[in-house]
């Protein structure tokens, strides 16, 4: 006979009450094992969305999710471990140059990544544009690669916080993804179970982010830093701008190409800036006194990229896929580009085939959007602003439609807000 009743726990949270440690442990385990039904956990997720979880509840909820699976152990490595997690945004390819850069500076980067859903891209989808590259590694393969190369980007194994995988799928179809406690528990349960010693969080804010306002992004950052610190993981968060998309491309293979440009010493200035800023935070957490900007300029990070891709079966020198169909969108007037809607760009890339509507849908490696001017640039009427890429021309019309009114052109330039808006730490 069950110790608790799901309906009673739902009612407790619905009415603003607090869940006991024992109740949370039972609920998470029972849901993972199938004793609590999806419709019941959906009701609980909505109750939490409106009523929240206090600090103690959230810590227990996170630990209960961790306890449904295994914990990885990187203590045998000769390098200190540090990981990065981004809450996701349009054109956010930062993991790709960042992991090899931090590894080239002497840390081990166990970057367990995910796939895209909706308007935000997934790191694994991007890397699968590289011929031969594989996302799934055993724990033994991960450890060996971290020791020899220093960086691994791969899929999280099914043994890490299985409760989260089940609960996330439910949240995605019940309009509860934006719940700050549940976002926090989802991210941090996997990262703590992963076993990294330090963690740097990139919390996006703005039109292209899940958190649209700075206040919500700050609340999320503070919550996750608190969870990580309580679990003994050295955790820092940067709140970064996602009002406009990052870089000059959104799409899987397109973003890989842009990341390689960054590693080669070029690439868009905002991608370079954020990569270096996050690298500095990660190296500080790991206790490594090395300037990542110098390492990036030296080419050592590119060497690590090649080694990382080859270790997972990929050919870093192989040509990336090229879309069979392209179409340009031109500037409607002379002036300065002062606004670019990140959500609109992400939606266009998604409609062109770069993203998926449901888990498991295929994605096009070559699909996406590139833009030829950045914020503050002078543009001329008729000048190409965007190029849309797809292998399926029937998608082009809806991809173009998403970019209607996506840019703002003015007579004078305006200063873009800083890329890094705030730093959050436990200290």
User: Any idea which residues carry the catalytic annotation?
Assistant: 85, 164, 171, 186, 190
Length of the chain: 427
Residue with tokens 């926090």: 184
CA 234 to chain centre: 19
Q: Two tokens at 170?
A: 């439910």
d(CA 210, CA 213): 9
Burial class (CB in 10 A: 0-12, 13-18, 19+), 202: buried
Residues 6+ apart with CB under 8 A from 237: 200, 201, 202, 203, 221, 222, 224, 225, 423, 424, 425
d(CA 109, CA 116): 21
Residues 6+ apart with CB under 8 A from 85: 187, 191, 199, 200, 201, 202
Report whether 239 contacts 86 (CB < 8 A): no
Q: Tell me the backbone φ, ψ of residue 328, rounded to 5 degrees.
A: -100, 150
């Amino acid at each position: 006979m069950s110790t608790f009743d799901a309906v009673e726990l739902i009612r407790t949270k619905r009415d603003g009450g607090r869940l006991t440690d024992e109740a949370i442990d039972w609920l998470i385990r029972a849901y993972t094992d199938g004793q609590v039904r999806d419709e019941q956990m959906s009701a609980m997720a909505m109750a939490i969305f409106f009523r929240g979880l206090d600090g103690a509840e959230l810590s227990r909820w996170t630990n209960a999710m961790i306890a449904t699976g295994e914990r990885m152990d990187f203590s045998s490595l000769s390098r200190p471990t540090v990981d990065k997690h981004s809450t996701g945004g349009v054109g956010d390819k930062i993991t790709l140059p960042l992991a090899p850069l931090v590894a080239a500076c002497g840390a081990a980067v166990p970057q367990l990544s995910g796939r895209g859903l909706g308007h935000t891209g997934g790191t694994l989808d991007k890397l699968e544009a590289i011929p031969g590259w594989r996302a799934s590694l055993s724990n033994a393969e991960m450890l060996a690669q971290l020791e020899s190369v220093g960086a691994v980007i791969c899929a999280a194994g099914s043994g890490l916080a299985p409760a989260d995988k089940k609960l996330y799928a439910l949240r995605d179809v019940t309009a509860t993804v934006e719940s700050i406690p549940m976002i926090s528990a989802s991210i941090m349960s996997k990262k703590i179970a992963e076993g990294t010693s330090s963690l740097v969080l990139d919390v996006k804010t703005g039109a292209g982010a899940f958190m649209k306002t700075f206040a919500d992004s700050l609340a999320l950052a503070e919550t996750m830093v608190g969870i990580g610190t309580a679990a003994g993981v050295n955790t820092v968060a940067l709140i970064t701008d996602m009002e406009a998309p990052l870089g000059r491309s959104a799409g899987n293979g397109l973003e890989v190409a842009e990341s390689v440009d960054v590693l080669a010493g070029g690439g868009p200035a905002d991608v370079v800036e954020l990569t270096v800023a996050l690298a500095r935070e990660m190296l500080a957490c790991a206790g490594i006194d090395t300037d990542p900007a110098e390492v990036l300029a030296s080419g050592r990070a590119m060497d690590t990229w090649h080694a990382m891709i080859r270790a997972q079966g990929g050919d870093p020198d192989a040509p990336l896929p090229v879309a069979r169909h392209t179409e340009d969108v031109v500037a409607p007037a002379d002036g300065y580009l002062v606004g670019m809607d990140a959500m609109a760009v992400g939606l266009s890339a998604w409609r062109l085939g770069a993203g998926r509507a449901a888990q498991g849908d295929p994605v096009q490696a070559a699909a996406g959007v590139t833009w030829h001017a950045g914020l503050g640039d002078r543009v001329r009427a008729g000048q190409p602003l965007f190029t849309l890429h797809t292998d399926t021309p029937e998608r082009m019309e809806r991809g173009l439609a998403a970019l209607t009114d996506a840019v703002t052109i003015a007579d004078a330039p305006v200063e873009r807000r800083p890329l890094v808006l705030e730093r959050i730490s436990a200290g």
